[in-house]
Amino acid sequence: MKLGETHADTVKTFKDIGDVFFEEKNFEKAEGMYRKALDIMDDLPPDSADLMHVSQPLMVSLQIQGKLSEAIKIQKDVLSKLLQMHGEDHFQVATIYIGIANLLEDQNRLDDALQMLEKSIETCSRLQGMEDFDRTILGLSLDTKARLLQKQGDFEGAIEILNNVVVIYKETLGEMNLSTADAYETLSKAYLEQEMMDSCINAITKTLEIRRNLLGDDHPSTLQLLVTVEVLKRDKVAKALNEQGLTMKAQGDSDKAIQFFQEALDIYMKTFADHPSAITVYENLSAVKVEQGLLEDGIAASAEALKILRRSRGDDHDATKIRMDAHRSLLKRLLENRSYCDGPRYIFKRGKNAKVLNEQGLAMKAQGDSEKAIQFFQEAVDVYNETYSMPIIPV
């Protein structure tokens, strides 16, 4: 017996073929099969479960291909059908709102995405009293909203929401669940942005505890978290030392301030040489050295801060440009403190040092040691940049 194209089994066949193409990562062909299945469903009695089973892999196929506008259109069409079938107060409606929000986020339309999430949260709030409502959907809505708030720089708002997400996931999924671990990890990052180190370490430690329990000690995720927890603990100590240094500086005890700053830098150098917080400590150390009249030492510390900024953020970042201007001012002061004749001799000496570094780089290149060659060339470039990227003769 022929079923004809307008039949539920035909829908299933096209969907199954689409799944095969999807598994083979042939997303364009998968998209074609899913679209055929959806077209047939328009002529069949409405079934929200089948609609979701076909539309969601279609949406993912489009998203992977970068067809975000088409994916959003599909999701909105599905939303319209679900609203006709169930009205606003249905868990699938809440889920579709989240899907649309994710696609809008990919288009960097964060405000529009947040509006979709608010609708999802409102729907979930009305459904919470129902016995069969899965509160995990509410947790996912809130989790996604917190991520968007972090992108917008609202870390306080994200922290408040993420604490609620953790509670929901613990109640619905249990504490020993990877989604709960992910929520703790996201929370730890928000705390870190606010420099709430104790809360940050507590949250990331919970993440480690859960993943270690579920994945084992040797899993890459567990091993990475062990490193992260140790780095954060050391960062906390280094930040405390930096604060003590600033206190000593404010009290006029420069020697003590330098001691604290140096101890903080020692921690960063042993843990993570390009740690962003090390930039601040180098800048503080530079300021104290300059106040002591040790201008060349101040320039050396400023140069280290500048090197980290250039490596980690690039020359075009605003923070790099600000530090570059401050560094040039210090170099200019140094030249102004020298006699007119001594200035060129200083510059000649710096240029000679750079030429030696360049020659060492060429020698390493000839020996086939490209990494060493690059290191010497970069050091030469740094010398030239620090010396010549400013007014040379005092004005």
Confidence of residue 365 (pLDDT cuts 50, 70, 90): confident
Is 365 domain-assigned?
Answer: yes
Do 287 and 249 reside in the same domain of the chain?
A: yes
Question: What CA–CA distance (Å, rounded) separates 87 from 157?
Answer: 30
- What was the pLDDT predicted at 273? 67
Is 282 domain-assigned?
Answer: yes
Residue 394: pLDDT over 70: no
Is 221 domain-assigned?
Answer: no
Is 150 domain-assigned?
Answer: no
Question: What CA–CA distance (Å, rounded) separates 349 from 338?
Answer: 14
Q: What is the CATH number of the domain that holds 302?
A: 1.25.40.10
Question: What CA–CA distance (Å, rounded) separates 193 from 156?
Answer: 10
Q: Among residues 87, 110, 125, which one ends one of the domains?
A: 87
Question: What CA–CA distance (Å, rounded) separates 61 from 27?
Answer: 5
Confidence of residue 367 (pLDDT cuts 50, 70, 90): confident
Do 252 and 348 reside in the same domain of the chain?
A: no
The predicted-structure confidence for 93-113, as pLDDT tens digits, reads as follows: 999 999 999 999 999 999 999
Is 390 domain-assigned?
Answer: yes
Task: Compute, in degrees rounded to 10, the torsion defined by CA atoms 239, 240, 245, 248.
Answer: 150
Domain count for the chain: 3
Tokens of 134: 């899965």
Do 331 and 375 reside in the same domain of the chain?
A: no
Q: Hey, how many other C-beta atoms are within 10 angstroms of the C-beta on 71? A: 26
Do 25 and 49 reside in the same domain of the chain?
A: yes
Is 380 domain-assigned?
Answer: yes
Question: What CA–CA distance (Å, rounded) separates 124 from 52?
Answer: 18
Do 357 and 322 reside in the same domain of the chain?
A: no
- What was the pLDDT predicted at 1? 37
Do 250 and 346 reside in the same domain of the chain?
A: no
Residue with tokens 């917080």, as numbered in its chain: 277
Is 215 domain-assigned?
Answer: no
Confidence of residue 385 (pLDDT cuts 50, 70, 90): low
Percent of the chain residues topping a pLDDT of 70: 91
Q: Among residues 297, 315, 337, which one ends one of the domains?
A: 337
The predicted-structure confidence for 164-209, as pLDDT tens digits, reads as follows: 999 999 999 999 999 999 999 999 999 988 889 899 999 999 999 9
Do 265 and 332 reside in the same domain of the chain?
A: yes
Question: What CA–CA distance (Å, rounded) separates 39 from 29?
Answer: 16
Question: What CA–CA distance (Å, rounded) separates 283 from 296?
Answer: 14
Do 351 and 327 reside in the same domain of the chain?
A: no
Which residues constitute the domain of residue 351? 341-395
Q: Which residue type sits at 353?
A: N
Contact 261, 284 (CB under 8 A): yes
Question: What CA–CA distance (Å, rounded) separates 388 from 369?
Answer: 29
Do 314 and 271 reside in the same domain of the chain?
A: yes
The predicted-structure confidence for 285-316, as pLDDT tens digits, reads as follows: 999 999 988 888 899 899 989 988 888 888 88
Q: Which residue type sits at 116?
A: M
Q: Among residues 24, 56, 87, which one ends one of the domains?
A: 87
Query: Considering the chain, what is the average pLDDT of its residues?
Result: 86
HEC-encoded secondary structure of the chain: CCCCCCCHHHHHHHHHHHHHHHHCCCHHHHHHHHHHHHHHHCCCCCCHHHHHHHHHHHHHHHHHCCCHHHHHHHHHHHHHHHHHHHCCCCHHHHHHHHHHHHHHHHCCCHHHHHHHHHHHHHHHHHHCCCCCCCCHHHHHHHHHHHHHHHHCCCHHHHHHHHHHHHHHHHHHCCCCCHHHHHHHHHHHHHHHHCCCHHHHHHHHHHHHHHHHHHHCCCCHHHHHHHHHHHHHHHHHHHHHHHHHHHHHHHCCCHHHHHHHHHHHHHHHHHHCCCCHHHHHHHHHHHHHHHHCCCHHHHHHHHHHHHHHHHHHHCCCCHHHHHHHHHHHHHHHHHHHCCCCCHHHHHHHHHHHHHHHHHHHHHHHHHCCCHHHHHHHHHHHHHHHHHHHCCCCCCC
Do 332 and 295 reside in the same domain of the chain?
A: yes
Residue 48: pLDDT over 80: no
Confidence of residue 5 (pLDDT cuts 50, 70, 90): low
Question: What CA–CA distance (Å, rounded) separates 344 from 342?
Answer: 6
Do 8 and 77 reside in the same domain of the chain?
A: yes
Contact 380, 365 (CB under 8 A): no
Question: What CA–CA distance (Å, rounded) separates 258 from 281?
Answer: 10
Do 1 and 81 reside in the same domain of the chain?
A: yes
Is 208 domain-assigned?
Answer: no
Tokens of 250: 């404010």
Confidence of residue 133 (pLDDT cuts 50, 70, 90): confident
